[in-house]
Structure 1
Amino acid sequence: MIGILSGLTSWSRLRGASDDDWIDRLNHIWTVVLLAIFTVVVSSAQYVGDPIHCWCPAQFTGAYVAYAKQICWISNTYYVPMDNEIPVQITERQDREITYYQWVPIIFLFMALMFKIPNLLWRMLNNGGGLNMDRMITMTADMQICSPNQRDENIRHIAKYMDRWLKANRQYHFNIIVRARQKLSGICCFWFGKREGTYITGFYLLVKLLYVLNIIGQFYLLNAFMSMEYNMYGFEIMKKLAQSEPWSESHRFPRVTLCDFEIRQLQNIQRFTVQCVLPINLFNEKIFIFIWFWLFFIAVLTSINYVNWLYHVLVKQNRAKYVKKYLKLNDEIRSSGDLKLCRKFADEYLRDDGVFVLKIVSKNSSEIVLKDLVLYLWRLYKSDPKTPVIKPTTENHQEEPEDVKEALE
């Protein structure tokens, strides 16, 4: 907890690495910080303040009152509305027990850990693709404040570094197994093939999926921890606000509860039922309302973001379309031959991992930096002796097929 709070004083430590997008950081940074703040608030109310007060019989002395408060706090109280009679059966009282309020700080810390785990997996394993993405993205982000000469030199270095990485991760022998793996990587991007150019992309999509599953699972975990229908809690709040109903005591976060405990005096066991007030639930109710809406908001954004990434990765035509946009900005697509070479550049040279790295660069830097980086990679690709020379279908640009002219436009 001290480490998390000390990190708030440093933006660089709080922001973490930049090899992901802002939706990821919304999950593993801002949500974790928010839950840490709530943990401090609730813990202060529990351990610094007085989280429970009990109305004890008149014959109770000070020691008895202190004992009643402690036993009712560590055991579970139960809720019965004032208009209802207290159940006679002990089992019926136990079914009404509130089991969560002592463990709220632990619940928040566990939730924060679950939000951080996908990011930790990404940090530990993304270098398996052979590229130090964190360092490279940091360099491209810093170029926005460099001098023009330093900026061009850094972009050339990054382009050469990516060129060596792209050429190093190639198949150096071919057999039935290699061809089968290439087929699988072409069909499913989740096939983590380093030499097929799908390792980083597939692993990133898996991490994205973990973020989505984590948020959905958080609702069910809270429902299990709190023994209530927390999944629908936010909709009930919105219904009350829409109908302008007065804000009354919630059975989920009651402030006045009942507590049963037994006192042994020699061989006699006396059972007492006392009425207790839980001031801590004033904080818990508002915090859990905010958490429900925050999780719902994050779940919608993360799901949309995941589907968007899936679309751009699974539809292979998007690779050439993405690269062609920046090559046209550099005036490098001038004929049908350049257009065909652009497709080979995206599909055979950059592949899924190369295009993915460019997208992460664009999300953490600027379009100008990405435009220049694509240009240098394009020139390195064309200068390679192994790159095929593709001539335009016709010398007259106006006589090219309609689909080619539309693509060039």
Structure 2
Amino acid sequence: MTLDSVLGSFATYARLKGRYDDDWIDRLNHLYTTIVFIIFTIVVSTKQYVGEPIHCWCPAEFSDAMVDYTNNVCWVSNTYFVHFHEDIPRLDAMKEDREIGYYQWVPMILLFQALLLCSSAGVNLDKIVTLAAETQYISPDDRERTIRHVVRYMDRWLENSREYRSGCLIRLRQTVSKYCCIVCGKRYGNYLVTIYMLIKLLYMSNAIGQLFILNEFLGTNYNVYGFEVMGQLSRGEAWEESPRFPRVTMCDFVIRQLRNVQNYSVQCVLPINLFNEKIFIFIWFWLVFVSVLSSANFLVWSYIMVFRQHRIRYLKKFLRVNDCYKTELDKKMAVKFCEQYLRQDGIFVLRLVGKNANDVLVSELIYQLWNHYRNKPLFKHANQISDDNSNV
């Protein structure tokens, strides 16, 4: 069974394989973590790897059919865990408190976790960023044509997303949208940024929330599982059987033969818990790792995208590299180029290009966009006024 055939059951492989409309932290969430969970799902649900999930030690008088029945009924009706040095509880309520009812659902919960993470950044930036990123692998002539095509595409997109209506309320919304994502809209220049930050917030919440979901699913204080493992390793203690994933359990069941009802208590071994124990240890560390990186990534993106001075500083850096930031007029128009032409969404797309390609390509795009902007009638008119004032 190939990975492509498995992944194709819930998402197209092209979608899962990755897009250029996000950064590597996003791909860590929706791509790599999804693949990890799917691989674990295949492992625990395939007898080729784990064999029979349960074996029960039955009385000698049991026939083969009765042994199969015992294994099946103990698998579907849950078992309960009792340490060897403890007596078997006599009350049903005490047995229910020790009952283990998760192991049948491990493949389903892993697949559910994979589906929770299987998504993309949610905004169709693929055309712009993919074209820009692919210029690294084509000939110089094709590269120049592609960059010009990307610039024309971005210019058309930026112009179409501009608000051409006027009014006090609209100007107020545009002013607030420059500094705050509470006011969001396709015409305000912060739509992509707001959606992208919302998706990052969901990724962070999803990774943290899955730790609590697993805690409820396993019912064994799973949130501190990794700390206990690290504590054992730091103290040099031997790896012992975890009470969360016991390999030897007890099972009570009833066999009815005509008017006779026979109660049996048998001891069962759960080979699948040998895999579950290691898998969920890895999952704990992985989710903590993803949660920390997603939280840090969300804070960094919030810091660089929300504050206006970071956007202007990012743009000025590339304008200086291209020798386009010399005169006082250039300095004034650079702010307008950032705030009125590119706005938050334009700077955001350029940052994504830099994340998926390199800063050299970003520098070329900004240079072409700057020249495109300077040739617009409004810029020429402002330039002419500035020259007339200086002559006077």
TM-score calculated relative to the size of structure 2: 0.92
Query: Which one of 61, 75, 78 corresponds to residue 77 of structure 2?
Result: 75
Tell me the alpha carbon deviations over residues 254-311 of structure 1, each in whole angstroms, 9 at most, x when there is no partner. Answer: 0000001111122332221110000111111111111111111111111111111000
1:130 alignment partner in structure 2: none
Query: Which one of 264, 268, 274 corresponds to residue 276 of structure 1?
Result: 268
Aligned residue identity for 2:100: I
Query: Which one of 35, 44, 47 corresponds to residue 45 of structure 1?
Result: 47
2:91 alignment partner in structure 1: 89
- SS in structure 1 at match of 2:256: strand
Query: Which one of 202, 222, 235 corresponds to residue 227 of structure 2?
Result: 235
Query: Which one of 238, 242, 253 corresponds to residue 250 of structure 1?
Result: 242
1:407 alignment partner in structure 2: none
Alpha-carbon distance, 1:46 to partner: 8.3
Tell me the alpha carbon deviations over residues 9-47 of structure 1, each in whole angstroms, 9 at most, x when there is no partner. Answer: x99665322111111111111111111111111011389
Alpha-carbon distance, 1:63 to partner: 2.1
**Cα separation, partners in 2 of 1:279 and 1:135, compared to 1, 3 Å:** same
Tell me the alpha carbon deviations over residues 150-189 of structure 1, each in whole angstroms, 9 at most, x when there is no partner. Answer: 2122212211221121122111212344234324423422
Q: In the alignment, is the contact (CA less than 8 A) between 2:34 and 2:117 conserved in 1?
A: yes
Query: Which one of 110, 117, 120 corresponds to residue 112 of structure 2?
Result: 110
Query: Quick check: 1:166 aligned with 2:164?
Result: no
Aligned counterparts of 2:48 and 2:243: Cα–Cα separation in 1: 21
Aligned counterparts of 2:69 and 2:237: Cα–Cα separation in 1: 39
Aligned counterparts of 1:264 and 1:11: Cα–Cα separation in 2: 51
1:54 alignment partner in structure 2: 56
Q: In the alignment, is the contact (CA less than 8 A) between 1:169 and 1:194 conserved in 2?
A: yes
Aligned counterparts of 2:4 and 2:148: Cα–Cα separation in 1: 42
Alpha-carbon distance, 1:6 to partner: 6.6
2:308 alignment partner in structure 1: 316
Aligned counterparts of 1:47 and 1:271: Cα–Cα separation in 2: 33
2:36 alignment partner in structure 1: 34
Aligned residue identity for 2:257: Q
Tell me the alpha carbon deviations over residues 195-237 of structure 1, each in whole angstroms, 9 at most, x when there is no partner. Answer: 1001111000000001000001100111111111111100100
1:353 alignment partner in structure 2: 345
Identity fraction in percent: 50
Alpha-carbon distance, 1:62 to partner: 2.1
Aligned counterparts of 1:87 and 1:307: Cα–Cα separation in 2: 51
- SS in structure 2 at match of 1:386: helix
Aligned residue identity for 2:246: P
**Cα separation, partners in 2 of 1:45 and 1:284, compared to 1, 3 Å:** farther
Query: Quick check: 1:156 aligned with 2:158?
Result: no
Aligned residues: 382
Aligned counterparts of 1:173 and 1:72: Cα–Cα separation in 2: 70
Q: In the alignment, is the contact (CA less than 8 A) between 1:55 and 1:275 conserved in 2?
A: yes
1:267 alignment partner in structure 2: 259
1:296 alignment partner in structure 2: 288
Aligned counterparts of 2:370 and 2:162: Cα–Cα separation in 1: 18
**Cα separation, partners in 2 of 1:386 and 1:321, compared to 1, 3 Å:** same
1:193 alignment partner in structure 2: 185
Q: In the alignment, is the contact (CA less than 8 A) between 1:80 and 1:258 conserved in 2?
A: yes
Gaps of at least 5 residues in structure 2 are none
Aligned counterparts of 1:201 and 1:218: Cα–Cα separation in 2: 26
Q: In the alignment, is the contact (CA less than 8 A) between 2:20 and 2:130 conserved in 1?
A: yes
Alpha-carbon distance, 1:48 to partner: 7.4
Q: In the alignment, is the contact (CA less than 8 A) between 1:190 and 1:206 conserved in 2?
A: no
- SS in structure 2 at match of 1:294: helix
2:298 alignment partner in structure 1: 306
Tell me the alpha carbon deviations over residues 103-125 of structure 1, each in whole angstroms, 9 at most, x when there is no partner. Answer: 111011000000114x2xx44xx
**Cα separation, partners in 2 of 1:235 and 1:141, compared to 1, 3 Å:** same
Aligned counterparts of 1:11 and 1:219: Cα–Cα separation in 2: 27
Aligned counterparts of 1:184 and 1:327: Cα–Cα separation in 2: 27
Aligned residue identity for 2:288: F
2:211 alignment partner in structure 1: 219
TM-score calculated relative to the size of structure 1: 0.88
Query: Quick check: 1:382 aligned with 2:384?
Result: no
Alpha-carbon distance, 1:59 to partner: 2.7
Using the TM superposition, name which of 168-177 and 10-19 deviates more. 10-19
Gaps of at least 5 residues in structure 1 are 128-132, 396-409
Aligned counterparts of 1:136 and 1:89: Cα–Cα separation in 2: 67
Query: Quick check: 1:138 aligned with 2:160?
Result: no
Aligned counterparts of 1:201 and 1:16: Cα–Cα separation in 2: 20
- SS in structure 2 at match of 1:340: helix
Aligned counterparts of 1:259 and 1:240: Cα–Cα separation in 2: 30
- SS in structure 1 at match of 2:184: coil
Q: In the alignment, is the contact (CA less than 8 A) between 2:81 and 2:100 conserved in 1?
A: yes
Q: In the alignment, is the contact (CA less than 8 A) between 1:52 and 1:280 conserved in 2?
A: yes
Aligned counterparts of 1:184 and 1:222: Cα–Cα separation in 2: 41
Aligned residue identity for 1:280: I
Aligned counterparts of 1:15 and 1:61: Cα–Cα separation in 2: 51
CA RMSD, 1 decimal? 2.3
Aligned residue identity for 1:356: F
